[in-house]
Amino acid sequence: MDDAFKPSRRAFLKGSAAVAAGSVAGAAAADTPDPLITELQDWASYTGAGVDETPYGMPISFESHVVRRNVEWLTASPISSINFTPIHALDGTITPQGCAFERHHSGAIELRKEDYRLMINGLVDRPLVFTYDDIERFPRENHVYFCECAANTGMEWAGAQLNGVQFTHGMIHNMEYTGVPLRTLLQEAGADISPDKWVYVEGADASSNGRSIPMEKALDDVLVAFKANGEALRMEHGYPVRLVVPGWEGNMWVKWLRRIEVVDMAVESREETSKYTDVYADGTAQKWTWVMDAKSVITSPSPQMPIKHGPGPLVISGLAWSGHGQITRVDVSKDGGITWETARLGKQGDSKALTRFYLDTNWDGAPMLLQARAIDETGYVQPTKDQLREKRGENSVYHNNCIQTWYVSAEGIAENVEVS
């Protein structure tokens, strides 16, 4: 921080006193003048940081809690592991890349654009190798999509586990991607695009994360992306090139994409047999559960976002999304699902993208059981956890899109609970 911007000790003490006075005043009428208003503050007198101070900025220090977090006991190694987006503290729909969750199977690798190669081979007329610069010469598109890990909310199958929406629902991010449609590259190589063919995609990292995608999806809306939220992908999100597979489980969004192979059958790789298959109660496993169904969650109030302002106007805010298309409606319940009110969408939702909803309400200070319920353009209504468990049991690991309940106490403290 620039010295000119650093408050003096005297100013710091004065500032602390001002904060204390301000909090005492609260919503009631002030009986003493607020020194933050009546006294000249340093920032209204001295100068701030110069434009040469920060060529690429980080959030202000007061926002240091808005960070990715991990849960050590979830995995054997932080190299093949997950962390969580601080969705409790965000608003709108676009996820800042710097705190957007990571999931790696052999760590985040550093791959220079100069060293990047993309191969397309298999059932193609012309097996090709592209450099990064080649990729940028194809006509490109922009789209906003959510990327949700198949395991998001997966720890919650057997009961309420982790006390924070960041941990229960934070394996997700939503970015505006710039990229080349996969179909363009398939066409360039003269691929056999008949509907019984598959596209196998793999990354440049040691895990490779190979996955099979049916040709119909490959030709539809899959992107070979090189920009997110306006800038290059972050290292941990696949720099310089990743796959974007709209509406489908995050595992298929292969990072550091190095090879696209057209094949006549699914490869049935490790990531689509051992992992990303869902065991139902009778012991049979579901494979190729690609789509992420409609889901929503209230991000505030939530365990990490207690109500601190007391009764009165309250903004209930949250996110909804569906891999089947647009979110058309979100209902909110304050009594654990007995009665529902339809919330307001922050703006019309994009297809297969996060949608923000708000319920502007007046809190009387009584305890609440908060729930949100998403409805998508196919008419699908987000199910309760009991409905899901009735169909699948408790061991399917992935694809838990249940309705989440927060118990909010009279003190405004929120807890992750299950309700009858």
Partner 1 sequence: SHDGIYGLGRPALEEEVAAWDVDVLPDGRGLPAGSGDVWTGEEVFADRCASCHGEFAEGVDNWPVLAGGFDTLADEDPVKTVGSYWPHLSTAWDYISRSMPFGEAGTLTADETYAIVAYILYSNDLVDDDFELNNENFADFEMYNMDGFVVDVRPETEYTEWRKEPCMENCKAEATVTMRSVFLVETPPEGGSNSV
Convert residues 387-406 into a mask of x (bound to partner 1 by CB under 8 A) and - (unbound). x---x--xx-----------
Smallest distance, partner 1 to C-beta of residue 406, A: 10
Among 381, 44, 331, smallest CA distance to 35 is for 44
Smallest distance, partner 1 to C-beta of residue 284, A: 6
* Residue closer to partner 1 (CB basis): 82 or 144: 82
Could you tell me which stretch among 10-18, 287-295, 312-320, 350-358 binds partner 1 (CB under 8 A)? 287-295
Distance (Å) of CA 324 to CA 154, 222, 390 = 20, 14, 22
Angstrom distance (rounded) from CA 181 to CA 112: 22
Window 28-47: residues binding partner 1 (CB under 8 A): none
Could you tell me which stretch among 95-103, 233-241, 278-286, 352-360 binds partner 1 (CB under 8 A)? 278-286
Q: By CB under 8 A, tell whether 295 contacts partner 1.
A: no
Window 148-187: residues binding partner 1 (CB under 8 A): 159-164, 166-167, 187
Distance (Å) of CA 172 to CA 61, 65, 147, 278 = 24, 18, 6, 19
Smallest distance, partner 1 to C-beta of residue 301, A: 14
Q: By CB under 8 A, tell whether 383 contacts partner 1.
A: yes
DSSP notation for 121-143: EESBSS-EEEEHHHHTTS--EEE
Angstrom distance (rounded) from CA 238 to CA 113: 11
Angstrom distance (rounded) from CA 420 to CA 371: 13
Angstrom distance (rounded) from CA 142 to CA 126: 27
* Residue closer to partner 1 (CB basis): 236 or 331: 331
Residue of 4, 13, 17, 206 that binds partner 1 (CB under 8 A): 206
Could you tell me which stretch among 92-100, 224-232, 236-244, 285-293 binds partner 1 (CB under 8 A)? 285-293
Q: By CB under 8 A, tell whether 265 contacts partner 1.
A: yes
Element at 220 (helix H, strand E)? helix 215-220
Q: Please say whether the beta carbons of 226 and 232 come within 8 A.
A: yes
Convert residues 314-343 into a mask of x (bound to partner 1 by CB under 8 A) and - (unbound). -----------------x---xxxxxx---
* Residue closer to partner 1 (CB basis): 285 or 410: 285
What is the CA angle 214-220-224, rounded to 5?
A: 90
Smallest distance, partner 1 to C-beta of residue 405, A: 8
Could you tell me which stretch among 30-38, 43-51, 245-253, 411-419 binds partner 1 (CB under 8 A)? 411-419
**Residue 175: strand, helix, or coil:** strand
Could you tell me which stretch among 34-42, 46-54, 232-240, 272-280 binds partner 1 (CB under 8 A)? 272-280
Instruction: Look up tokens 């065991």; give the residue.
Output: 279
The phi, psi pair for 270, rounded to 5°, reads -55, -40
Q: By CB under 8 A, tell whether 259 contacts partner 1.
A: yes
Question: Is the Cα torsion angle 165, 68, 399, 327 positive or negative in sign?
Answer: positive
Among 104, 72, 98, smallest CA distance to 85 is for 98
Q: By CB under 8 A, tell whether 50 contacts partner 1.
A: no
Window 65-104: residues binding partner 1 (CB under 8 A): 65, 67, 69-72, 75-77, 79-80
Q: By CB under 8 A, tell whether 249 contacts partner 1.
A: no
Q: By CB under 8 A, tell whether 188 contacts partner 1.
A: yes
Element at 385 (helix H, strand E)? helix 385-392
Q: By CB under 8 A, tell whether 109 contacts partner 1.
A: no
Could you tell me which stretch among 7-15, 44-52, 127-135, 140-148 binds partner 1 (CB under 8 A)? 127-135
What is the CA angle 201-176-271, rounded to 5?
A: 25
